[in-house]
Amino acid sequence: MRAIGVQEFGGPEKLQVLDVPEPHAGPGEVRIRVHGATVNPTDTNLREGIYAQRSGDTSPGPHIPGMDVAGLVSEVGEGVELQVGDRVMAVVLPRGPHGGAYADEVVVPAASVVPVPAGADLFAASTLPMNGLTARLVLEALAVPTGGTVAVTGAAGAFGGYVVQLAKVDGLRVIADASPADEELVRGLGADEVVARGDDVAERIRALVPDGVDGLADGAVMDALVVPAVRDGGRIATIRGWSGPADHGITVHPVLVFDHADRTDALEELRELVEQSAVTLRVADVLPAEQAAEAHRRLGAGGVRGRLVLDFSS
């Protein structure tokens, strides 16, 4: 079976087409014939060996990236209600015997799988599960009450855009950062106020909210630089593991989607919100699976709006 991965860690050029054993669904599992696998920053971290270094994983390759997938159910295990042929999307954890989403077939727990939104194609649907679930987890960690104010850095990106839209669903005031070229995009996603991005973004946010925002979702991975934007006793949610310190009673909440891939309820909510046009699926480009290295280069160069998707359908 075809997969895309690395035998040794390194740059995009290390990605190669692999022949790996075909997986099969066990009890409580679903096998998906992959059509679209989204390219995310988490994939580049896996390719470079960052996750293996942090965890002390010394297992031999191949290492197969990919955490977002959409396709057709091709096999179900005992106790699973989904049917062969169902159009589904799923969060994939790129570890264990089956690897990540960059493969013709992937096996995942049924709790990580839901139907794709009605009317969405499989490439677009593949951009939602991991990024959207992370955005929902971040807002849960911030716990800003209805009517409160949340700030979002990296708002033009896929994760940041989902945070903006979900925050508006939750009835929050949203202050988001953007470059001049992305301001219209971020406003279109629902941001109430847009400030210029940069290392001084906290000062710009404070100019709009003198007492500081209730919560901040740090999609731009600015860590300590954004602490001054948050009010005393407020919260910051991070997505790359930074946990502080922060003063003035501000708490920092690292959010790791790896720990919550079985949140079927949140995945179902995301599907429904897309169907209600409250959440927007954004595909930057679709590339043949064999061009994964090029997709990683483009992502690393920056400026990609929406997500790049690898096509495994042929």
User: What integer is the mean pLDDT of 128-142?
Assistant: 98
Q: What is the CATH number of domain 131-258?
A: 3.40.50.720
User: What integer is the mean pLDDT of 119-127?
Assistant: 97
State the average pLDDT for the chain: 96
In this structure, the number of other CB atoms found within 10 A of the CB of residue 25 comes to: 22
Q: Three-state SS for 197? A: coil
User: What integer is the mean pLDDT of 187-213?
Assistant: 98
| First and final C-alpha spacing in the chain | 13
Residue 57: its pLDDT value, please? 76
**Least-confidence region, from 16-25, 56-65, 113-122:** 56-65
Six token digits for residue 49:
């060996």
User: What integer is the mean pLDDT of 270-285?
Assistant: 98
CA 276 to CA 306: how far, in whole Å?
Answer: 19
Eight-state DSSP code of residue 78? T
Residue 314: its pLDDT value, please? 85
Angle (nearest 5°) at CA 31 between 26 and 35? 170
Q: Is pLDDT of 84 > 90? A: yes
What digits encode the pLDDT tens for the residues 219-243?
A: 999 999 999 999 999 999 999 888 9
Cα atoms found within 13 Å of the Cα of residue 91, Cβ hemisphere only? 24
Q: Is pLDDT of 136 > 70? A: yes
Q: Predicted confidence band at 164 (pLDDT cuts at 50, 70, 90)?
A: very high
Q: Is pLDDT of 288 > 90? A: yes
Residue 290: its pLDDT value, please? 97
What digits encode the pLDDT tens for the residues 56-65?
A: 777 778 999 9
Residue 53: its pLDDT value, please? 82
Q: What is the residue extent of each domain of the chain?
A: 2-128+281-311, 131-258
Residue 240: its pLDDT value, please? 85
What digits encode the pLDDT tens for the residues 30-58?
A: 999 999 999 999 999 999 998 888 777 77
Closest listed residue to residue 92, CA positions, set 115, 77, 108: 108
CA 21 to CA 90: how far, in whole Å?
Answer: 21
In this structure, the number of other CB atoms found within 10 A of the CB of residue 111 comes to: 18
Q: Is pLDDT of 97 > 70? A: no
CA 38 to CA 157: how far, in whole Å?
Answer: 14
Q: Predicted confidence band at 95 (pLDDT cuts at 50, 70, 90)?
A: confident
Residue 198: its pLDDT value, please? 96
Q: Is pLDDT of 202 > 80? A: yes
Q: Are 65 and 30 in contact (CB under 8 A)?
A: no
User: What integer is the mean pLDDT of 254-276?
Assistant: 96
**Least-confidence region, from 5-9, 45-49, 204-208, 240-244:** 240-244
Q: What is the CATH number of domain 2-128+281-311?
A: 3.90.180.10
